[in-house]
Amino acid sequence: MQNTVDLRLDLPSNLSKDEVQTFLAVKLYESGRVSLGQAAKLAGYSKRSFIEILGHHKVAIFDYSPDELREELGL
């Protein structure tokens, strides 16, 4: 069973709960703290939709060095 923590924040009126939740999920994924699935769930999206959101934030979903990518592709 996974432990969860409830978090309550008083947000400035120019930020929505959904916006902050998505941003937090993107940053947690980008820093490697959560998996793609965990981040998508936290943000309230499917994995496919969250991948698109990551693209909008210029966050890569694959973390290959140039050498690893060449090896993976057989080049």
Residue extents of the structural domains in the chain:
17-73
Buried b (16+ CB within 10 A) or exposed e, 7-17: eeeeeeeeeee
pLDDT, position 66: 83
pLDDT tens, position by position, 20-67: 999 999 999 999 999 999 999 999 999 999 999 999 999 988 877 888
pLDDT, position 52: 97
Q: Which residues contact 4 (CB under 8 A, 6 or more apart)?
A: none
pLDDT, position 1: 45
Residue 4 has pLDDT above 90, yes or no: no
pTM above 0.75, yes or no: yes
- Tell me how far apart the alpha carbons of residues 70 and 75 are, in angstroms, rounded to a whole number: 5
Q: Could you tell me if 26 and 44 are in contact, meaning their C-beta atoms sit under 8 angstroms apart?
A: no
